[in-house]
Chain A
Amino acid sequence: MALVGNLKDIKLANLVQLNCMEHNTAKLTIEYNGKYGFVYFEGGQVVHAEFDPFIGEEAFFRLLRLYTGNFKVESGIRAPAKTISASWNNLLLEGLHQLDDQDQKSGVNFKNLFERLFTIKGVKRIAVVDTEGHVKAKSHPEIPDTWPIAALVTYEAERIGQSMHLKSPQFVSVNMGNQSWIIMPQKKGDFLLLEVGKKTRLDLIMPLIKKAVG
């Protein structure tokens, strides 16, 4: 029987560790935002990975960056090719090292914050954007590096507050039919932008978000 779940609940690094320590031969499929990624284990080693358009170690490292996505582990399926020769523990260490580097480049470690926010049902994607629209950290690689629209919407909300003689808003919500944005101004002028599902109820989700942000 296949093991199924979501990366929100169990991290990919833990799944890899589990399969390697158990000396499994298996195929791990990850479905994320309509894209599929695969990791193959043989005799407890990671031997192949694919994540469109990447293959081998690069695909594995890209998959490690995912915070969310449905996964399935099917035992006994062999890899169609061997593109990874590094031992599983070295591979995992290198991948986690790259993740740390990425966080350090962005100046702040948002990894823990993203992980806390992704435990909230309805949260799909997260970005930290500065007032100029530059994305300082993002949960998903396809989020653009600049997001001037998000910065402008936040700025217009602040200007509205000024017209009402109020300080910066606590948060802004924008409903676009099939998705919603929740924008929360942070310290130093940055703001947190969360993309949530259309059925997400703000009154239920906001206390959880506030708690996660701290």
Chain B
Amino acid sequence: MPQTILKEIQNIDSVEMVAICSFKGEIGFKVGELLPEADLKAIAIHLVRAFAALKVVGKPPIHMEIYWQNHFLHARFADGFVIITICNTLEVMSLLRITLNVALANLLQNKTFLKWLKKHSADALKQLRRGSFDEHEINLISQFT
């Protein structure tokens, strides 16, 4: 089950939440209750927008990490989905990256996951065209699309 794979990531010290979201922003699987679903969905959409923007200029990211004072978000991008991990210490970063690579390989062999992915797969670039944007986002996106 994808949840079992996500549990392995959550077992890393200080990991508070792990979620798999599609490029549509749909939450497929998650462990941990740190954030309400609406906030998690919004986070996924912002991450996919950043991914899509970089893809447009030929620099699709493998992962993106955001650091705050006591929080740290890791987004591991794959074909059609993103694994979002939130934890509160930087010390686990190397272990987290390795574990995510293994988790990703396991997910891509998991039938339940693949079935979900097939149902929710979408082109990331759509997130630059559809959805709600504020004026600043519209201005920046219009400069390169």
Contact = CB atoms under 8 A, between A and B. Distances in A.
A87 interface: no
B128 to A, nearest CB: 9
Interface string B40-76: 1011001101100110110111111111110101000
Contact of A169 (B42, B62, B66): B66
A58 to B, nearest CB: 30
A39 to B, nearest CB: 34
Interface centre among B54, B86, B137 (most CB of A within 10 A): B54
Interface on chain A toward B: helix, strand, loop, or mixed SS?
mixed
Contact of A170 (B57, B64, B69, B137): B69
Contacts of A163: 35, 39-40, 42-43, 46
A133 B86 CA distance: 28
A151 B141 CA distance: 10
Interface in B87-145: 90, 93-94, 136-137, 139-141, 143-144
B46 A159 contact: yes
A200 B66 CA distance: 17
B67 A170 contact: yes
B59 A176 contact: yes
Interface of A: 131-133, 146, 148-149, 151-153, 155-157, 159-161, 163-164, 166-167, 169-177, 179, 202-203
